[in-house]
Amino acid sequence: MSERWKPSVTVAAIIEQGGLFLLVEEHTPEGIKLNNPAGHLDPGESLVDGCAREALEETTHLFRPTALVGIYMSRMQRPSTAEDITYLRFAFCGELGSPQAGRQLDTGIIRTVWLSPDDVRASSAQHRSPMVLRCMEDYLSGQRYPLSLVYTDANVTDLSSLLAN
């Protein structure tokens, strides 16, 4: 029997204020790239909580997801290792809060940048994935879904139930 294929589940924050989008500049195996504040979902957290956590870690700002922008699937083959990775991304928009005093940007994040939609489009060669641009375009077109569309059963976040088995 072959091993079951499992895509990498990621969450992304699509943050817009005053017509500008908040992106992060980060070190990747392919060099310095631009990305939405995003990252892998951790065990024991909901998609919404994971998005808020990733936004905080990568921007030092609180973020409260208010709507799902979309669900995206993308595949890449890492040039340096030939690793074949499929990403399943859940992108949320929401409210950006204040920066949290004493927080540092997550390892690998160089800085945050505010870019206009035209600047995001013009920088597509520097994007970590094609989903950066697609998520922004979907957001700009008004694509929003209620958070109730994304259900998390209590057994995901209540890890004590796993210990009892």
Q: With respect to residue 2, please indicate whether it lies within any of the assigned structural domains.
A: no
Residue 108 lies in a domain: yes
Rounded to an integer, what distance in angstroms lies between the CA atom of residue 97 and that of residue 89? 23
* pLDDT one-digit tens code per residue, 126-159: 999 999 999 999 999 999 999 999 999 988 888 6
Q: What is the pLDDT of residues 65-123, one digit of tens each?
A: 999 999 999 988 777 777 788 999 999 999 999 999 999 999 999 999 999 999 999 99
Looking at residue 152, which CATH number applies to its domain?
A: 3.90.79.10
Structurally, how many domains does the chain consist of?
A: 1
Residue 78 located in a structural domain: yes
In a domain, 40, yes or no: yes
Q: Establish if 1 belongs to a structural domain.
A: no
2 or 34: which leads in pLDDT? 34
**What pLDDT score does 78 carry?**
74
Q: Tell me if 127 is assigned to some domain.
A: yes
Q: Where are the beta strands (DSSP E) in the chain?
A: 8-14, 16-17, 20-28, 31-35, 38-40, 61-77, 84-99, 109-115
Continuous H helices in 67-125: 117-122
In a domain, 3, yes or no: no
Domain assignment present for 69: yes
User: What is the domain range of residue 57?
Assistant: 8-164
